[in-house]
Structure 1
Amino acid sequence: MYISSAQFIILIQLLLAHTLGDFHLQFNDWVKDKEDRFLRSKYLYFHAAVHFFLTWILLGEWKLWYIALFIAITHLGIDIWKISKDRRLNSAYRTNRKDPAYSHKKLKYFLLDQSMHLIIILAVWLFLIERLDTALDYWSDLTTNYGAMTILTAYALCTLPVSIIINIVTRKWQMQLQTPVPPNVNDNDLDNAGMWIGMLERIIILTLIIAGQYESIGFLIAAKSLLRFSENNQQNGSSVSKKSEYILIGTLLSYGSAIIIGALCNLILKST
């Protein structure tokens, strides 16, 4: 699907209007008032109006007012959903905003909110350049493409499923490393850091294998080894060796699973 520069600039205009309206021209007192008063807040509707005028002005064609109105109305609907979620979350964690679960859910709602806005913007752009039907055809072709679906499946397997398997396999060693936590001390600040690091490592390794850059995997392993060596030198106590062994087992399982999935993916792709 060939996209001309004139068509592409329309997408830039829509994205710029969204960025200016959602981040630069949405002030803290507006956000607080919307969370406090919800549907009774005038700033909820001011915010939608800002998106209407920014979209209309940046598109540069007055006859496209209905596009700006559509974006403003859908933006308002998505914001109402997000604010309702945030209000419930704030109420549930009123006395414990430092809980990692609170930050995790706030981030999840933010990402969902922005994803929905971007989907609307993309759909509007495709409609404006009269490529909506073409894009749907491309999506249909993608979902029936053997190679594309194989690669997507490989990435899907490399993330959460492998994390869950590694967590189950290493659970007995996790129990050995657990120590009593003093009262009033939050020991969960980085609860999910290892999981996310592992998923990112596997995504990088899988990408390198599919791209045929096997040598680069060695640099990734060496970099992590140096980081762990430096960390161990700064720690004292008999628990260091146990923790290092546990991390080494998890790392080998993580890297090994990514390499196996990547190798199988390449094998399937070459057989087609």
Structure 2
Amino acid sequence: MFKNVFLILLFIHILGDFYFQSENLSKEKNSDFKGIVKHSSIYAISCFVFMIIIVDDWAKSVMPIMALIHLLVDSAKYLFIKKNKNFSIKSDNVIYAVDQMIHILTLIIISLIIARNNFSVNKIEIIDDILRIIEISPYQSFTWILAILFVGKPANVTIKKLLSPFKPSASELETSTPLSLQEYSKVEPESACTLCESKDIQGNMISDEIRAGAFIGFLERFIILILLAISQYSAIGLVLTAKSIARYDKIAKDQVFVEYIY
């Protein structure tokens, strides 16, 4: 009973704290309390998913408490960052880890409270009929959906946050030096416009590469998840080897990249 409740709450948390939170909203949370209010409101709405599928009224009453605790935790995080302005960005991984551990602990406590009492779940007949036809249990299908969601954005954000102290600095990754004001003054107006446009294009290309890299990372984790499910552990090594071969040229030429990727 506890496991079922916890998986449902974890599903809600993953949706509300990751998939329903944009990159801009994530940045706004650190600079403006309005961002905290917006995010907490979206998180509260995701909690209504639980309220819709749960029959028991007392179980429904727990969800506003879950949303309120999330607001309090994120508010405490915001105040801590504001108070400690000199707090190193490199230590952002610690803040993220503590924040998520508190959220998970909250889910565990709420799951224990709900599991102590019997509760029933509304069955959606259409979905239930489809699962019966393809001979897949609702629990099995739900755990797979949860696993796929987890290896997506949550895994991407978690890896990025936890490895942030080891990320090469901007100076280390720079491949070209920006032109000085004197150098810009020597450039013809037409050439200067072309140069600015090329810089914008380069920035857009980098942004596209980051999005492509995140998608490729998701595919890698998804393939590994499938291999784990079918007990093909040796094939995981082939996936990692193929990844290294695909990046051989970058590894051979960029020492900083080698130290970061490995």
**TM-score with structure 1 setting the length:** 0.38
**TM-score with structure 2 setting the length:** 0.40
Instruction: State which structure, 1 or 2, has the greater radius of gyration over its C-alpha atoms.
Output: 1
